Amino acid sequence: MRLLEQTGLAALHRLDPERAHDLSLRALQAGIVPLPGQPFTTPRITVRPGGLDLPNPVGLAAGYDKNARVLGPLMRAGFGFVEVGAATPRPQPGNPRPRLFRLTEDRAIINRFGFNNEGIEPIAARLAARMPGIPVGLNIGANKDSADRAADFALVARRAAPLADFLTINVSSPNTERLRELQGARALSALIAGVIAARDDSGARPPVFVKIAPDLDDAALAELAAVLRDSQAAGVIATNTTLDRAGIASPQAGQAGGLSGAPLFDRSTRVVARLYRLLEGRLPIIGVGGIGSVDQAWAKIEAGAAAIQLYTGLIYQGFSLAERIARGLDARLMVAGKTLADLTGSDAQRWAR
């Protein structure tokens, strides 16, 4: 199984990155990708962040399956939960191609997709048609040309709330002009309240998470934490991609867009740790950014993450990475005589420096 996966990855890496991305989705649809089936789970690694019952803490981050095209296969890929999207009210093509770049030397990618998606209606239909299984969430966004982006978030939340197990307010993508301005205290507070109200209007109450950028300074992060503590958000996803290029070796480093992968690990993990301390345990954090091994997953959880998400690591290692991390975490916890909850935040002070 691993050899087949490595062969497939090598073939995909010979292609244009966006074409490879689309082909990987088609391969999942066709059933030719080896998948483990049920997620690996034990009592040591079950976790309940924000009310989500997760069989293991390893999730798929938003951005891979933007249109919820392959929910069935992804729910059998070893993840404890899956996030799809981002979805906007109306379809939009996103930014011009090329807009996805591999930085192989750095085990990273840069993307400037710009919320390309089919719009909420077809995505909602696919969410409604999925079979029961692990939690599936929807990352929600606003159309690039919208005159009222807060209203866009509310519209998508109202439509998707009865169909998704959780919603994520995405105010941190660097690829939609001025979107990150919604991370300011006043704008974010109003945005969360609007999404919560729209969710409640739908008659459903899935937990609502907020996804933040890794490029916030300490003052902005403290301000954001205060807003989150006073809101009805169920948790935080930290972090999205970065605009920073420090230490990048690839000649593609100058491409515009958000950087993800290995170079993001330290930056995003520091944000997790600082946020963990600022939130004082009131809200769970889902840690994402640069995770490509059991050691890195362990460190992210020690810094304060209750669960984690993968994306770029899968591009270089394949879907089997999810189960390897889940099994590796469980093995280390068994030796340590701990549960995942014991580990969460146990080294936040060191990472927050």
Amino acid identity at 202: S
Whole-angstrom Cα distance, residue 111 to residue 126?
A: 25
Question: Can you tell me which residue has the tokens 């909420």?
Answer: 120
22 Cβ neighbours under 8 A, 6+ residues apart: none
Rg from Cα positions in the chain = 18
Measuring CA to CA, how many Å separate 107 from each of 101, 260, 291? 11, 9, 11
Q: Which DSSP helix (H) or strand (E) runs through 222?
A: helix 218-229
Alpha carbons within 13 angstroms on the beta-carbon side of residue 296 total 24
Residues 239 and 212: beta-carbon distance below 8 Å? yes
Q: Is 268 a catalytic residue?
A: no
Whole-angstrom Cα distance, residue 51 to residue 40?
A: 20
Residues 114 and 152: beta-carbon distance below 8 Å? no
- What is the distance, to the nearest Å, from the Cα of residue 133 to the centroid of all Cα atoms in its chain? 19
Please tell me which residue in 24, 172, 173, 250 is annotated as part of the active site: 173
CA angle 350, 352, 353 (to 5 degrees): 75
Whole-angstrom Cα distance, residue 319 to residue 332?
A: 21
Q: Per residue, what are the HEC states of 35-103?
A: CCECCCCCCCCCECHHHCCECCCEEECCCCCCCCCCHHHHCCECCCEEEEEEECCCCECCCCCCCEEEE
79 Cβ neighbours under 8 A, 6+ residues apart: 39, 56, 58, 59, 60, 134, 322
Tell me which residues are annotated as active site.
Answer: 173
